[in-house]
Amino acid sequence: MAPPLLLLQNISLTLGGKPLLEAADLSVSAGERLCLVGRNGSGKSTLLKIAAGLLELDGGTRFMQPDANVRYLPQEPDLSAFPTAFAYVEAGLGPTDDPHRARTLLNELGLSGEEDPAHLSGGEARRAALARALAPEPDILLLDEPTNHLDLPAIEWLEAELKATRSALVLISHDRRFLQNLSRKTVWLDRGRTRSLNRGFAEFEAWRDSELEEEERQQHKIDRKIVAEEHWLRYGVTARRKRNQKRLGNLLTMRTERRERPKASGEVRLVASEGALSGKLVIEAEAIEKSFGDRIIIKDFSTRILRHDRLGIIGANGAGKTTLINLLTGALKPDKGVIRQGANLLMATLDQGRASLHPDTILKDALTGGGSDYVEINGERKHVIGYMKDFLFGPEQARTPIGRLSGGERGRLMLARALARPSNLLVLDEPTNDLDLETLDLLQEMLADYKGTLLLVSHDRDFLDRVTTSVLMSEGGGRWLEYAGGYSDMVAQRGAGVSAAPVFSPRGIEKPKAEGAPRVDKKPAAKPRLSFKEKHALEALPKRMEEQRALLAKLQSQLDDSGLYARDPAKFAAVSEAFAKAEAELQAAEEDWLELEIRREEIEG
């Protein structure tokens, strides 16, 4: 077996007087694909920085093969020292690396390279950092939350790029689908120690649960043994004899180990403060349009959102998802059309930019609004310290300024604020950013039990599949279409997902083919006459196309039933598959007929 390219053994590190890593190991071999998982604050990013050689150790060893090349993607890349995005990427190249690849990667990620880093958004800075990490084609890629701030086209592009690379991968991500598609090994960091599973993330959660159950059984045995030994100590007449002093020492050791044993991380407790029931009709939009200058965001769009609907809104960055949310919720007026909101609507929102969080506001005041020590949840007053604990904040953090919280802590704070408000309409714009996988699970469960209506903007494919009952997809040019089910159901109905190349990239936009263009494999037009088979096809194809259109109309009427997915998911999947198949057959028939018709006209004319 080949030696590892990178090896961390028995790593220990203390930050702020608190042990963060105690016995962490990490081994990366050539071409290996592993993901590093654990709760927020468990030390994943710290361990990745140690692997990259950016942090000093308190204990343990770090070894890397002398000729190995490693590239690290931080959560928050800093481009401030560089005049342009390309200069930042170029600075990461070695003497033998190809600068043309750096330029190509930037273009594929939607950047020209001439951008001023001071004016880049979080997503654009992330794309520049990805180009810098990928351009040298290193032996090892260490990627910390590479999908943060990326839209679905960019995520799927990155996924394809990483599948094709020969580099070894170490991934930290909250995106389940991303981890499932790329990982072949899972390293779990828990209470300062690592445990490894030689399988991908898809099998991690079942394995983790079994490990925790076994740990609980073993600890229960130890606790029972301590109780038995304490009973012997109190009542055993031989306890004072010299030969039993060893037994007494063992008892004291077990007590110490139980007292100092690291406890499993607490669980976030998510409960939404629900308001009175809204009317059956929540929001209705009729033929609305919205443009900014010459740019059309929404064109002739109509929809009806009913009570209990779970609507996901998806599309590339810049497609207008947040604009659409603002229109539907009344924060923005349409240029044309009418938007009506139902009766008794109580709305709570979580914005993706966390804009309402002022960095100088302390945590307690952010939750209570200031001037109080209590929050009200479902009509009951709860002390703010207890509510903070529900979201894994310690009492000592009550007066911590928000600007000093981590990304995950800010995400939990925004959830805590949104869920504290009485509501029957939840509007969540990118709620999964910076949340760990366990918190995402609990958020999903809470949304499943929520009795109101949900509007969700997200680039997390797995979360969309688990939560939504329908999705609105940006089709380009201001056109939005609604599909029943989640993201995967939308892909089945459209026959394709979001474009793998970012739509904002000049190189990612393919020149559209002329409508009705003949297929490449058509026969030469110089043929003097149509064959018998071609004549028969030309006569039979119109009838076949009509049959397919009738079938599509029938299937579409079934898919328009908003309750079908909830009542019978298997039937919904079968109808979706049949719809995609019929649509593909109709398209093929139309292309065949058009090709033959063009050839007939050329021969006759």
pLDDT digits (tens, 9 = 90+) for 234-280: 655 454 555 565 655 665 666 565 555 555 555 556 666 665 677 78
pLDDT beyond 90 at 434: no
Tokens 């064959």, residue located = 531
**Residue 40 assigned ligand-binding role:** yes
Higher pLDDT, 242 or 230: 230
pLDDT band for 193, please (50, 70, 90 cuts): very high
Please indicate if the annotation marks 379 as binding a ligand.
Answer: no
Distance of CA 266 to the CA centre of its chain: 22
Cα–Cα distances in angstroms (integers) from residue 467 to residues 227, 416, 447, 602, in the given order: 46, 19, 7, 54
Q: What is the pLDDT of residue 241?
A: 53
For residue 518, what pLDDT is reported? 40
Q: Which two tokens stand for residue 604?
A: 């006759």
- 112 secondary structure, DSSP code: -
What letter does residue 495 receive in the DSSP assignment?
Answer: S
Average pLDDT over residues 475-500: 82
**605 assigned ligand-binding residue:** no
265 is in an annotated binding site: no
What whole-number distance in Å separates Cα of residue 172 and Cα of residue 185?
Answer: 12
Mean local confidence (pLDDT), 178-198: 94
pLDDT for residue 357 = 66
Q: Which of 134-138, 149-153, 370-374 has the highest mean pLDDT?
A: 134-138
350-374 pLDDT tens trace:
765 555 567 888 888 888 877 788 8
Lowest mean pLDDT of 118-122, 309-313, 434-438, name the range: 434-438
Q: Is 321 annotated as a binding residue?
A: yes
Q: Band of the pLDDT at 4, cuts 50, 70, 90?
A: very high
DSSP 579: H
Asked whether residue 39 is marked as a ligand-binding residue, the answer is yes
Strands (E), 458-543: 470-476, 479-484
Return the structure tokens found at 401. Answer: 């300024």
Q: Which of 242, 232, 62 is nearest to 140 (CA)?
A: 62
pLDDT on residue 201:
94
d(CA 386, CA 578): 52
Is 38 labeled as ligand-binding? yes
Average pLDDT over residues 315-320: 82
Per-residue pLDDT at 309: 92
What is the Cα–Cα distance from 497 to 482, expressed in whole angstroms? 14
Which pLDDT band holds residue 381 (cuts at 50, 70, 90)? confident
C-alpha to C-alpha distance for 154 and 146, rounded to whole angstroms: 10
- Which of 310, 305, 288, 306 has its CA nearest to residue 297? 288
Confidence of residue 10 (pLDDT cuts 50, 70, 90): very high
Grade residue 551 by pLDDT with cuts at 50, 70 and 90. confident
Tell whether residue 499 is among the known ligand binding residues: no
Confidence of residue 514 (pLDDT cuts 50, 70, 90): very low
Q: What is the dihedral of CA 157, 205, 47, 133, to 10 degrees?
A: -10
Q: Which of 86-95, 297-306, 369-378, 523-532 has the lowest mean pLDDT?
A: 523-532
Q: Is 486 part of any known ligand binding site?
A: no
Where is mean pLDDT largest: 325-334, 379-388, 580-589?
325-334
- Confidence at 503, pLDDT banded by 50, 70, 90: very low
The residue ranking higher by pLDDT, 134 or 388, is: 134
Mean pLDDT, rounded, of the chain: 81
pLDDT band, residue 509 (cuts 50/70/90):
very low
Is residue 317 annotated as involved in ligand binding?
yes
Helix (H) or strand (E) holding 580: helix 569-604
Whether residue 44 is annotated as binding a ligand: the answer is yes
* d(C-alpha 483, C-alpha 465), whole Å: 12
- Cα–Cα distance for residue pair 419/270, rounded to 1 Å: 8
User: Band of the pLDDT at 532, cuts 50, 70, 90?
Assistant: low
Torsion of CA 50, 51, 52, 58, to 10 degrees: 20
Q: Is the pLDDT of residue 511 over 70?
A: no
Phi and psi at residue 477, in whole multiples of 5°?
A: 65, 25
Closest CA to 202 of 424, 356, 35, 336: 35
pLDDT score of 505 more than 50: no
Summarised one tens digit per residue, pLDDT across range 74-115 is 988 999 899 999 999 999 998 888 889 999 999 988 899 999
Q: What pTM value is reported for the model?
A: 0.68
Tokens of 342: 């139902």
Most confident stretch, 369-373, 484-488, 527-531: 484-488
pLDDT class of 135 with cuts at 50, 70, 90? very high
Q: Is 319 annotated as a binding residue?
A: yes
